[in-house]
Amino acid sequence: MQAQDQLADPGLEYPAYTPNTTDLVLSRSKYMDQLQGFWLTQCIANWTGLITEMDKIEPPFYTDENWDGPDERNIWGNFVPSSNNIIEYYFVHAGEAWSADDDTDIEYMYQHLLDVHNVSILTPEQIRDGWLHHIYSNEDAPNNENFLWVSNETAYYLMQEGLLPPATSAPDKNSHYEMIDAQLTTEIFGLFAPARPDIALRMAHLPIRTTARDNAEWAAEFYVVMYALASYVENKLSMKDKVFWLAEQARRRLPDGTPVAGMYDYIKAAYDANPDKNDWESTRDAVYERYQVGGGDGYIYNQSFDAGINFAASLVSLFYGEGDLPRTIRIGSLTGWDSDNPTATWGGLLGFMLGRKNVEWAFEHDDLSETYWISRTRRNFPDRTPEIDGEDSFPLMAKRGIYIIDRVVIEELGGGVDLDKDVWYIPDHSGEFPPGIPLQR
C-alpha cells in the first residue's frame, strides 16, 4: 500500500509493519531538522577550518590566544580568499549561498546517487559513473581546478582509465590510499542507517574503499559508527557524555595494534590525565612529538594530508571540545594540519545531534543561510532553487535524506515507517559488528 504524506517518497512502497516492543522509535520530522543541522554545521565548520588549513603542520602551532587574531599564510604561502585574514567563525547569512567544498560536495553526490538510483547500497559502476559525471577533470574544469586532492584525485583518474572501486584504492595503483580523503566524504552513511552501525558500515564500505585502505579506512569507519549511533545514544546524557560514549563505541571498530587505535588510546589517556581541560595545546604538541616526529604506535608520517595525523588531531578537538559545538570547532581550527576536515566532521556530528534551531542558538545567529551552491565545485546537478542563489537548500537536502532512510529502514533494517505517526521503527540489534566486535549500549 502506498501512503500519501508530504514526507512520503512517491517512488517507494510503504508496507504495513507491526511494531515490536523492542523497536527503537524515531521521529522522522525531528530527524529532518537534525539533517538540516548536519548540513548547516558542516558548512560552518568547513569554512571556519579553511581559514587555518595547512597553516601549521609543525611548531610553532596556533593556541587559543590566536583566536580572533590574524591568520597566517599556509604552507603554500597563501591566505584563504574567503576569509578576512582573521581566525574566527565563518558564517553565510540569508540571501547568500553556502559554497560547496570537498567536505560536503562528495557526500552531497553520494546522497544524490542513492536518491536517483533508488538504492541503499551503491554498486562499483554507480560510484564510477557518478564520479565521472559529477566531478570535473583538471583538464575540463573551470580554471583547471577540479577540487580533488591526493587519494580522491588519483582514484578519479583511475576511474577514467576504466578501473572500478575498490581497485581504485589498491596500494599498487593508488599510492595515496592512506591519506585523509575517505574521512571527509563518507560520514553521512552513518546518518542513513539510524542506530544501526552494522548497516551503515555496509553502505559505506565501497565508498570508503574507493579511496582508502588500512588506517585511512579504519578512521573513516570510526566516524561512520559515531554518526550512526548519534540517534541511539541516551538523550538523558549531557552532550559531553554523549560524545564520549559514541567515541568509546566507535573505538571498538579500530583494530588493536594499529596506529589509529594507538592514537585513540594515547590521546584519550592524555585528556583523562590532564588536570586542565582547557589545555588542549599540550596534548596537540604531544601528538606532534609522538607521531609526526617519533613514529609512535607504528605510525609513519608521510605528509600533512595523512589519515593518521589528522585522525589524531580530530581526537584532540573531540575530547577537549567536550560536546560544546563552538568550542570543538574552535579547537579543531587551531589544532593544525588539514584543519577544515576534522572540524567539519565534528561540526556535522554535533550539528546533527543538536538540530538546526539549536545550532543557531549555539552561535547566537538566527539569520544563517540555508541555501547551497554545489556548482562551485561539482557539475551536472539539477537546480532545485532556481529563484534564489545556489542550486539547493538544506530543507530540500534533508527531505531527500529522509526518503533514503525510509528505504534503508524498510529494505535493509527490516523495520517500518508509519507515515501517520511520522516515525520509524528500528528493529533492535543485539548481534555484533562485523567482524565480531560487540556493540553494547
Q: Which residues pair with 41 in a beta bridge?
A: none
Question: Do the domain assignments include residue 13?
Answer: no
CB under 8 Å to 51, separation ≥6 — which residues?
A: 71, 80, 83, 86, 87, 88, 90, 333
- Residue 2, domain member (yes or no): no
Q: Is residue 211 in a domain?
A: yes
The vertex-333 CA angle with 268 and 187, nearest 5°, equals 70
Query: Residues for the chain: how many in total?
Result: 441
- In 3D space, the residue among 370, 340, 294, 400 whose CA is nearest the CA of residue 37 turns out to be 370
Place of cell 574503499: 209
- The interaxial angle of helices 340-354 and 214-229, nearest 10 deg, is 20
Q: What is the DSSP string of 236-292?
A: TS-HHHHHHHHHHHHHTTSPTTSHHHHHHHHHHHHHHH-S-TT-HHHHHHHHIIIII
| 3-class secondary-structure state, position 104 | coil
- Whether 5 is covered by a domain: the verdict is no
Question: CA 436, 437, 441 angle in degrees (round to 5)?
Answer: 130
In a domain, 423, yes or no: yes
DSSP class of residue 416 equals E
CATH of the domain at 208: 1.10.4080.10
β-strand partners of 433: 437
Task: Tell me the Ramachandran region of residue 422: left when phi exceeds 0, alpha when psi lies from -120 to 50, beta otherwise.
Answer: left
Q: Does residue 9 lie in a domain region?
A: no
- Residues near 395 by Cβ (< 8 Å), separated by ≥ 6? 32, 36, 370
At 277 the pLDDT is: 98
355: phi then psi, degrees, rounded to nearest 5: 90, 160
The answer to whether 157 touches 175, Cβ cutoff 8 Å, is no
DSSP character at residue 12: S
HSE, side-chain direction, 13 A CA sphere, residue 182:
34
Q: What is the pLDDT of residue 82?
A: 80
pTM over 0.85: yes
Q: Are 40 and 356 in contact (CB under 8 A)?
A: yes
Which residues lie below 8 Å from residue 66, measured CB to CB, with a gap of 6+?
A: 87, 334
Among 360, 313, 315, 279, which Cα is nearest to 53's?
313
Closest Cα to residue 404, out of 86, 32, 119?
Answer: 119
**Rounded Cα distance, 436 and 253, in Å:** 10
Nearest to 205 by CA among 130, 122, 269: 122
Range(s) of the domain holding residue 322: 24-438
The series of mean pLDDT values per 10 residues for the chain, 441 residues long, is 65 96 95 98 98 98 98 95 91 97 98 98 98 98 96 98 98 98 98 95 97 98 97 96 97 96 98 98 98 98 98 98 98 98 98 98 97 98 96 98 98 97 88 49 38
Q: How many domains does the chain have?
A: 1
Buried-state track 217-226, b at ≥16 Cβ within 10 A, e below 16: bbbbbbbbbb
Answer yes or no: is 329 within a domain.
yes
Establish if 182 belongs to a structural domain.
yes
